[in-house]
Structure formats: C-alpha cells, structure tokens
A and B are shown apart, each in its own frame.
Chain A
Amino acid sequence: MKRVLIANRGEIALRVIRACRELGLETVAVYARGDEDSPHVALADRAVCIGPAPAPLSYLNVQNILAAALGSGADAVHPGYGFLAENADFAELCADCGLVFVGPSPAAIRAMGNKDRARQLMAAAGVPVIPGTGAVADAREAAKLAGKISYPVLLKAAAGGGGKGMRLVEEPGQLARALELARREGEAAFSDATVYMEKYIRRPRHVEIQILADNHGNVVHLGERDCSVQRRHQKLLEEAPCPALSPALRRRMGRAAVRAARAVRYSGAGTVEFLLDEQGNFYFMEMNTRIQVEHPVTEMITGIDLVKAQLLAAAGEELAIRQEDVAFRGWALECRINAEDPRQDFQPSPGVITGYRPPEGPWVRIDGVARAGWRVPPHYDSLIAKVIVWGQDRAEAIARMERALGEMAVQGIATTVPLHLKILADPEFRRGHYDTGFLARLLAGDGR
C-alpha cells in the first residue's frame, strides 16, 4: 500500500490524510464543485474533482471515485464515515478494481447492515440482544410472552417507524388495550396490523465498545465510550470512559463486543453499540463497520491511533497489541461543534465563518475544518470541528472542556458551543447520572 484515496471530505478526510502522512503513505483527495477551498483539498498530495456539489453526484458517485482512484494510481481507498463507508457494494467494487478497501469485508458490512439478521447473528454468538418476540397473535399470547420478557414491554407495529404504532405497557392490566391500539395504528398508518413485542429499557445509556481487528483473526477491544448525550439519535457530546461502568462490567461488555466482531470475521476498526440499563444489563443495538466521529476520546485514553491501526490492518499487518496491552489512562471528552443554531431548533447555519479562534493550550485537541474566511457549504454534514480534551479524571476533563470552549470564538455562523457549555454546567451531567433522555429534558427545561 503506497497511495490512499480518501473518499470523503470534512474533518475525517483531514484525519485520514494526517494518519497516512505519518505512515509515509501518499494521499489523493476527492472533492465536489464548491469544495475547492475545503481544507482536505489543500492538505492532500493531490486532489481530483469528482462532480457537482450535491453528494449523490460527487461523494456518492462510485464510478467517478473509482476512476479517480485508478487514474491517480492509488492502491487503497479509505471511506471515512458516512457517504460510502458502510456500502458493501462499494467495498466489493474496490476489490474488483484491485483496490484495498480500508474497512471490513463486504460480507461483514452486509451482515451488520441488516438489523434483523445482525440481531439473530448476535444472539447466536452469545451477545445479549433486547429480548423480543416474533409477530404477536392475540392478547392471550401477548400476556404469556410479556410475562416471559418481564414488564415493562414495548409493542411495535412491524411496519412502524417514527413512534407510530408504538405502545409502552407497564403492567399486565394495560396489555390487551395497548395491543389493540398498536394494531389499529399499524393498520391505519402502514396497512399492516402485525405487532411485535420487546423489552422496554428504561432510561438507557448509549455505551459503545471500540474494536480493533486484523485479517489474521486477532480482535481486541479498546474500552467504551458513553454517547448518551444525543438529540434525536444525533450524538453531541461523548466521553470515555463511561461514568457508569465498573471494571468488571467493562470486561463483560468488551468480551461481548469481541464475540460480535468474531461472529462476522471482522477486520479493521469497528464499534459495537449497546444499550445499558440502570441495573447494568446491556443489549446489542448495532455494529458500525467503520471509524466513528467520536473515535478520538478512545485514542486519548488508550494512546492508540485508530486510523493508523485501520490502515495497517487493511495493509494486511497483524495487530501490534494484545488485549492485555490495552490500558486506560485518565478521562476524555469530545464536543461536536456543528454549524447549527441550538436556539432555533438546531436549524443548519451555513455561511461564511468571518472570524475563528480555536481553543489552544494543554491537552486540547481540535479535529476540524473551520477557519476564518471559509464558507460552510449547505450541502453536507454540519460538523465543523470536534473539540477533544483529556484530563487525569472526569472533573479535570470537564473543567478543561469548559476552559477550552470559553476560549473558542466562531463568528458569522451559529454553532452548538453555547449548548455544550450548558450541558457541562448541568448538575445531572456533572454527577455522571445521565441517559439518552438527558438532552431532551435539558432542552425542554428551557421552555419553563
């Protein structure tokens, strides 16, 4: 592997280019019209325009990206996250063209991409999944099943989505009526009255385990990240370690994640996402078969460069570390600075950044594309920078993040910085006692 084409833009393209450079690999960037001035174009050894601004015509244009890779003499393609990162067909086409896809096999991507299949695979591999049922026939069967799963349970219309056809049942007395309502909603909204049942997880935390694997069957886990601070399933602030995990629980979740990775013969960097309940039970949600936005917090507490590890694994090298070599040191936080206005219901705020001062100083890391004079294009992701800090413990990390965000100034566009300061100051957050409903409660509190 000598030359890597980065099929992405934004901060992750910069992250990959930097890792390549440290490994002595040449880099080819791709960009859409309008992205000529984006930092990844300047940082790469070479850049190729692959289409007009809309992503389907450029960053998702498989033909142009592969032509750019072959024509520029690249021998590997790093997909970053988003865009083509979890597209098994793209991974396969890369292989067909003789290009190394920096990621797992197409088969592993497919296995984890199909939620139902992934759940069955995981259950078979001994990874805990949320207890659930097939189609529920009638109220009598429902009562039997609910007793087995244990209350509270959630009834879900098979074709449902967006909360439609979903009913929470706290106790047996509510079951028959809730089943009827879920059926009727399913029938009305999706012409399908089929209803499933699953265990309802109260106040869950989103805790995910980072995995590293090679092509030789070695798999290690690098501990967890807590990503419970989310808005509509969009993560906003992440930390490692998770304040709710004991070393014993960390080991159990880590082992489960390694089993998950082994079950699909995983290779490279990946993340197994779990829901963690208040009793310390955890359940498989999904596996992300790519590098993640929040990977730096794991890097900060393990000292392991995940993107370099990805590239080395793709090049066929064996993992340089064993599980017993993985040690955790201190605490790391990441705040996602998005071009969004938290006071205007998180409306995107594209435009020209007229003034920019990133935070500096000890143990502050910025992975970002923001700079003064740069126009945030309206076509893509709103992430303009990630502020990552490390501290000896959680209290120091929080104080450092507050200090860093206090130094940060972004002019010309609205960002999520004020919201992050509010989260960091919140007593519930500072105690570490928060769950996936935390941010919604915090935002609702503004209205009072």
Chain B
Amino acid sequence: MKVEELLKLVEAVGASDFDEFVLEAQDVKLTLRRGRPGGSLVPQPEPAPVPAAPVPDQPVREPGLVEVTAPMVGTFYRAPAPGAEPFVQAGSRVKPGDTLCILEAMKLMNEIEAEIEGEVVDVVAENGQLVEFGQVLMTLRPCKP
C-alpha cells in the first residue's frame, strides 16, 4: 500500500462518523481509532453544569438476548384492555406474529409483534407510560433452531 493511499484513507475515515476503523490487507494491518476530543490549543471555557440525560438502568445482560424496541413514540400497554391478562410476561413462549404489547399513538392501537421464536425474559417498559422511539420494551431469549 502506498503512503498516499494510506493518507487518503486516514482522511476519509477522519471525515466519516466511524469511531474505529480496521483494515487488513495482504501487506498491511491498519487500525484507526478516534481519540477523545480535547488537547486543543485554545483555552477551554469551564464546562457548563449540564445534567446528564436520563439513562435507563442497564441490567446485567446475558449474551444472546434480543431486545424488542419501540418503533414509534407511544403509550405502552401490556394488555388488550385495562384489567385484562397481559399479552406476555416473563417466561411466556412466543413465536413470530404473536402480539407482545400495544403502543398507542394518536388514539391508534399499534400491536407490536414478535419477530422471532423464543421466551420472554423481562418486560422492561412500564404499563401506561410513554415510551420513546427506540426504547427497549422487553427482552427475548431466542430458541435455538
């Protein structure tokens, strides 16, 4: 690999969003990692006291679990009606197409379905609460095929 090519590559990766880039070719192995910002030449202003964005508790997770996330913003319901049996709970077996929960948005009830076969490990979202886009609703342990 020529030096020019290498420099071009570094530049392209630098302009991208990647935090890490690894290249293995015949004659070269290259790892680019973005450093923490800082080390600047200008005096840094004191950082404003910024409250941290709320981060949901991350329970210790076993590997291989699949997260079911909210595809839209809405209110999370575990059951088809108030007082009714929840669609699923920890330990429930589900197969693709089974309803896991409901997200209500703009008075529309959107059924969230399982995409895989497996077992419900934990229902993380709270019934009747607003969930954000991408928020984890529950975790599944996939069946070994």
Contact = CB atoms under 8 A, between A and B. Distances in A.
Contacts of A71: 73-75, 130
A411 B41 contact: yes
Contacts of B42: 355-357, 409, 411
A133 to B, nearest CB: 46
Contact of A48 (B15, B37, B73, B75): B73
Contacts of B106: 63, 66-67, 70, 97
Contacts of A269: none
Interface stretch (B5-13, B89-97, B114-122, B132-140): B132-140
A49 interface: yes
A413 to B, nearest CB: 11
A351 interface: yes
A327 interface: no
Given A42-B51, A67-B106, A357 B43 contact: yes
A50 B73 contact: yes
A358 interface: yes
Interface size class of A (residues with CB under 8 A): 35 or more
A51 interface: yes
B53 A67 contact: no
Interface size class of B (residues with CB under 8 A): 20 to 34
A48 B75 CA distance: 12
A47 interface: yes
Contacts of A51: 73, 133
A206 B130 CA distance: 45
A218 interface: no
Interface in A9-54: 33, 36-37, 39, 41-43, 47-52
A443 interface: no
Interface string A156-180: 0000000000000000000000000
A52 to B, nearest CB: 8
B38 A64 contact: no
A354 B53 contact: no
Given A33-B133, A48-B132, A67 B41 contact: no
Given A49-B134, A372-B38, A67 B15 contact: no
B45 A357 contact: yes
19 contacts: A33-B134, A39-B50, A49-B132, A50-B132, A63-B105, A64-B133, A66-B105, A70-B106, A71-B130, A351-B15, A353-B37, A354-B37, A355-B41, A355-B42, A356-B45, A357-B43, A358-B45, A373-B38, A411-B41
Interface of B: 15, 17, 36-45, 47-48, 50-53, 72-75, 105-106, 130, 132-135
Interface of A: 33, 36-37, 39, 41-43, 47-52, 58, 63-68, 70-72, 97, 351-358, 371-373, 378, 409, 411-412
